[in-house]
């Protein structure tokens, strides 16, 4: 018996899938497909560099810190430059913003054809590279606000206003997961065809799965509600799975269920994950697959951003598991 979400029809590439989706809207000008095509191209280039990182001497740090105060890995810089180069030639992009850059990059104004803003974390989990662990790229697409001249204020939109969101996971295979607000779809890169191929459409997260993902090394500094939840999980037969790369941890939950937590800690009292280009795109992907996502006791995509690199806590995963944790928070 065929699983209902497995694609069994003709081969469907990422590009043809997006074109087919745009065809459902007679007024669509095809602008959006160019952005997704650029992200797909960047993903293929980054996947190639990640796969050959040790052979080409691209591992290790560059001896500098990014705006976040984090040590930049060589592939952080390479991935950032690759995305900038692939997206920079798209005439409909007004603003790009990256984890690696202090300020947004203005490409063109609305009057010059800039319709969209693209935000991204070029290489999430890059510290995993030295041990051959999984890493990923996260992206968010917003509509440009041509009446707002300040680029940072332009992109400080709630996650609910995202046009699309996705991530690319560089693991045993290269997977691209994406939503345009009409369900979450999974593509995998076929290296022989050189294309991302649709393999599952309309992904759904199981409502419950007794697995949690959190860095328990910081447990002593977690809020009381989080320590109480962990005590409950330990006593209730839960399994712990933590990879240390947001994309990889969320992908496992997306496919099999469970919950991921990054609560406030003594070191990061407001949370650690970046709202605009990590938490919001992950939230959109997961909600479109039937899951839930909160930052504190607020739905993540309802948070009003105040600055580009704003940080938030994150609780994301199966709806039933998230509801249980919200109960520990008194919500």
| pLDDT band with cut points at 50, 70 and 90 for residue 62 | low
| pLDDT band with cut points at 50, 70 and 90 for residue 66 | low
Given 200, 224, 243, which residue is the final one in a domain?
Answer: 200
At residue 320, the pLDDT reads 98
The mean pLDDT value for 190-210 works out to: 95
In the numeric block, which tokens belong to residue 23? 């065809």
Residue 329 in this model has a pLDDT that exceeds 70: yes
Which pTM was predicted? 0.93
* Same domain (yes/no): 293, 228: yes
- CATH assignment of the domain containing 166: 3.30.540.10
Helix (H, G, I), strand (E, B) or coil at 326: helix
Q: What are phi and psi of 141, to 5 degrees?
A: -120, 130
- CATH assignment of the domain containing 239: 3.40.190.80
Task: Decide if 4 is inside a domain.
Answer: no
CA pair distance 303, 131, nearest whole angstrom: 35
Task: Decide if 19 is inside a domain.
Answer: yes
Given 200, 224, 241, which residue is the final one in a domain?
Answer: 200
At residue 121, the pLDDT reads 96
* Same domain (yes/no): 314, 185: no
Residue numbers of the domain that contains 317: 211-328
Residue 212 in this model has a pLDDT that exceeds 70: yes
Q: What are phi and psi of 144, to 5 degrees?
A: -70, 150
Task: Decide if 8 is inside a domain.
Answer: no
The mean pLDDT value for 300-320 works out to: 97
Task: Decide if 93 is inside a domain.
Answer: yes
CA-to-CA dists, residue 235 to 74, 238, 253, 262, angstroms: 42, 8, 21, 21
Task: Decide if 292 is inside a domain.
Answer: yes
At residue 294, the pLDDT reads 98
Residue 7 in this model has a pLDDT that exceeds 70: no
Provide the pairing of β-strand 105-106 with 116-124.
Answer: unpaired
CA pair distance 99, 113, nearest whole angstrom: 25
The domain tally of the chain equals 2
At residue 84, the pLDDT reads 95
Given 200, 219, 237, which residue is the final one in a domain?
Answer: 200
- Contact between 213 and 258 under an 8 Å Cβ cutoff? The reply is yes
* Same domain (yes/no): 30, 106: yes
At residue 56, the pLDDT reads 76
Q: Using one digit for the tens of pLDDT, what is the confidence trace for 87-130?
A: 988 889 999 999 999 999 999 988 888 999 999 999 998 888 88
- Contact between 80 and 122 under an 8 Å Cβ cutoff? The reply is yes
């Amino acid at each position: 018996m065929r699983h209902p979400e497995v694609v069994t029809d003709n081969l469907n590439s990422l590009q043809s899938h997006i074109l087919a989706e745009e065809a459902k809207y007679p007024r669509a000008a095809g602008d959006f497909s160019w952005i997704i095509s650029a992200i797909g191209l960047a993903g293929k280039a980054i996947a190639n560099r990640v796969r050959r990182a040790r052979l080409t001497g691209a591992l290790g740090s560059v001896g500098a810190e990014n705006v976040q105060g984090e040590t930049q890995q060589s592939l952080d810089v390479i991935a950032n430059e690759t995305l900038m180069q692939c997206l920079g030639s798209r005439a409909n992009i007004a603003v790009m913003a990256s984890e690696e850059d202090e300020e947004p990059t203005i490409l063109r104004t609305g009057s010059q054809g800039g319709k969209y803003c693209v935000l991204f974390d070029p290489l999430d989990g890059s510290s995993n590279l030295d041990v051959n662990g999984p890493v990923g790229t996260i992206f968010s697409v917003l509509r440009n606000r041509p009446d707002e001249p300040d680029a940072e204020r332009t992109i400080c939109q709630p996650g609910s206003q995202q046009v699309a969101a996705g991530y690319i996971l560089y693991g045993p295979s290269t997977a691209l997961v994406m939503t345009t607000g009409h369900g979450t779809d999974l593509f995998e890169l076929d290296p022989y065809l050189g294309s991302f191929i649709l393999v599952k459409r309309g992904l759904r997260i199981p409502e419950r799965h007794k697995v949690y993902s959190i860095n328990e090394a910081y447990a002593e500094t977690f809020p009381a509600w989080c320590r109480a939840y962990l005590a409950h999980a330990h006593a209730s037969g839960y399994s712990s799975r933590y990879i240390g790369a947001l994309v990889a941890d969320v992908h496992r939950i997306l496919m099999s269920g469970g919950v991921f937590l990054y609560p406030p800690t003594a070191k990061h009292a407001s949370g650690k994950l970046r709202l605009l280009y990590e938490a919001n795109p992950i939230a959109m992907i997961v909600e479109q697959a039937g899951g839930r996502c909160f930052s504190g006791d607020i739905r993540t995509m309802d948070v009003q951003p105040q600055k580009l690199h704003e940080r938030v806590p994150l609780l994301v995963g199966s709806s039933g598991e998230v509801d249980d944790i919200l109960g520990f928070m008194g919500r």
